[in-house]
Amino acid sequence: MSVAVMSSALPTPFSAHASIPPHITETDHVQRSLVQLRSKSDGLEQYIFLNGLKERDPSLFYKILLSNMMEIIPILYTPTASVGDACTYYSQIWRHPEGLYISIKHKGHIRQILRQYPVGANPRIAVVTDGSRILGLGDLGANGLPISIGKLDLYIAGAGIRPSSVIPICLDVGTNTQRIIDDPLYIGLTNTVLCARKQMEEFMEEFMSAVSEVFPELLVQFEDFSTDNAFKYLDLFRARYRVFNDDIQGTGAVVLSGFLNAARISSAASGIPLTEHKILFFGAGSSGIGVAKQLVSFFTELGMNADEAKKHIYTVDSKGLITADRKGLQEHKKFFARTDYEGPALTNLADIVKYVQPTALLGLSTIGGAFTEEVVKLMAAMNKRPIIFPLSNPVSKCELSFKDAINWTNGRVVFASGSPYKPVVHEGTTYEAGQGNNMYMFPGIGLGAILSKSEHITDAMVEKAAIALSTSLNEEESSHELVYPRLERIRDISAQIALAVARQAHKDGVENNSVLRNLNDYDALRHIKGKMW
Ligand SMILES: NC(=O)C1=CN([C@@H]2O[C@H](COP(=O)(O)OP(=O)(O)OC[C@H]3O[C@@H](n4cnc5c(N)ncnc54)[C@H](OP(=O)(O)O)[C@@H]3O)[C@@H](O)[C@H]2O)C=CC1
Ligand SMILES: CC(=O)C(=O)O
Ligand SMILES: [Mg+2]
């Protein structure tokens, strides 16, 4: 029952509302719900509470979400323990349908399934996962749905997309994780040996064709697909459908944005120009390579050719520094494989740091604590202001805690992490961590794409989104050396990103909204904000 209904005029007929105590008002019920939420100390319990509230009383849920974003987003979306735990234990905590499961068994019938989905007439954004690489937690199969739900909650809170316009979708193509298959409560398919490559491709083709036909205005965001499939499906579909991959492109853009601001701070201390930074990627999967490509693309805008630009980048995977002479190198790693290293394989991160002498160390590896004291102190010895971004999620997989980063560099680090950290006080100074998370990026990209009615998401649109984010810092944020704006401003930021995306979509010839196109920037920004729910 909605509080909005309860607090309206006199209830009629009286008996239908006699169960509601006389002194319940909308305002105090919001407070009551927050008190109930805050009484739960465990992140998973808080997640379950909010999930139940959304089911019982969506209007109250969204009211609480919108007016307490800083408190609620970390529970529903930001990869602290709660949403990670929600995925890990989704089969245990499942209570009611809250998204769409399209399984491999629906192959041949996906259109019919989609036509039955009870949403508003015109859904605009779907976050689609197959659960095969959920955060840094690995293959969780059908338990991955809360990631799609959380991302869509951020679209609603951060970009003002209407709740009725979003669809969380999990593609259930089986799981390889034995612990999950053995769980008697597992909600997904267990008797499916993971689909053969060809069958999976046919399934994805049918899904994309069906979803775009049944929901013609839909933007599809691919989320947390395993590495090979993430690259493959982005390449396969981006020219044909309105689709982007958040882990490759959203992360590429958010890290480029933070890197530009971090490099400015670091370069001011060292005198090293932007074009001479050396960036070491620890982790060379979908997000690591996505970010590396985004940096190369940006460096080429500065006048370098791609071969020069890639010399600034070193990549490391589970076997060590990636070199071109390695046998059986996966396709996505080849472009960045070093041809200039001669010697025995470098497998230890500290040795790699000594060899590369990077100005920036970025972690997208899923290996919690990988940036050891030795590694961080090496970075601090080589750089006046070392840039260290441990970006893996959830927080248990983060390569370095903010406290250690501050302590081990004596406060000199320029830091952003994928998961949030509280401020740290060191020798009387308070330091704030940046949150280098694609949550800053995808709401604005999605909003820009749907308002401009873009047919595709081009690379240039993503890059302009990154630049819009990096230039959105206000004076107060810059004076605190933040590399990302405060999350409180996400709606304003999303509008600015959406405008940059729409403008570039026009230049790239993929947009279809003459109203937005013909407005000057000031009015276009107002128009975009006016469209927010
Ligand atoms: N902050 C943000 O906005 C985002 C953060 N992420 C996080 O980044 C992490 C990685 O995601 P994603 O790239 O999609 O995952 P992938 O599985 O595609 O890539 C992981 C990479 O880490 C490497 N790796 C694994 N173990 C080690 C090790 N011991 N030493 C060095 N490298 C290792 C893997 O090596 P190999 O190739 O040899 O297997 C692989 O290259 C996740 O935790 C995810 O949550 C992702 C997207 C956005
Ligand atoms: C943030 C995100 O998309 C991830 O960790 O996968
Ligand atoms: Mg992701």
**pLDDT per residue as tens digits for the range 250-271:** 999 999 999 999 999 999 999 9
* Residue 418 Cα: closest atom of ligand 2: 1
pLDDT tens column, 393-416: 999 999 999 999 999 999 999 999
Per DSSP bridges, beta strands 320-321 and 313-317 are antiparallel
Residue 399: predicted pLDDT: 98
pLDDT band at 193 (very low <50, low <70, confident <90, very high): low
CA distance 93 to 114: 25
Which ligand has an atom closest to residue 349 CA?
Answer: 1
pLDDT in tens, 288-309: 999 999 999 999 999 999 999 9
Q: Is 143 in the pocket of ligand 2 (CB under 6 A)?
A: no
Residue 245's nearest CA partner among 225, 216, 271 is 225
Indicate whether 128 pLDDT > 60. yes
Q: Is 310 a catalytic residue?
A: no
Is there a contact between 200 and 223 (Cβ–Cβ < 8 Å)?
Answer: no
Q: Binding residue per annotation — 517?
A: no
243 vs 212: CA distance, rounded Å: 10
- 350, 380 contact by CB (below 8 A): no
Catalytic residue check, 105: no
Which numbered atom of ligand 1 lies nearest the CA of 365?
22
Contact 531, 448 (CB under 8 A): no
pTM: 0.94
State yes or no: 503 annotated in a binding site: no
DSSP-assigned states of every residue in 224-271: S--HHHHHHHHHHHTTTSSEEEIIIIIHHHHHHHHHHHHHHHHHHHH-
Q: Is 135 in the pocket of ligand 2 (CB under 6 A)?
A: yes
The better pLDDT of the pair 11, 155 is held by: 155
pLDDT at 184 over 60: yes
Residue 224 annotated as part of some ligand binding site: yes
**Cα 289 to ligand 2 centre (Å):** 14
Place of tokens 């984010």: 469
Give the lowest-confidence range in 40-49, 73-82, 237-246, 377-386. Answer: 73-82
- Please state the atom number of ligand 2 nearest to the C-alpha of residue 151: 3
Ligand 1 center to 236 CA (angstroms):
22
The predicted complex's ipTM stands at 0.99
Measure CA 375 to chain center: 27
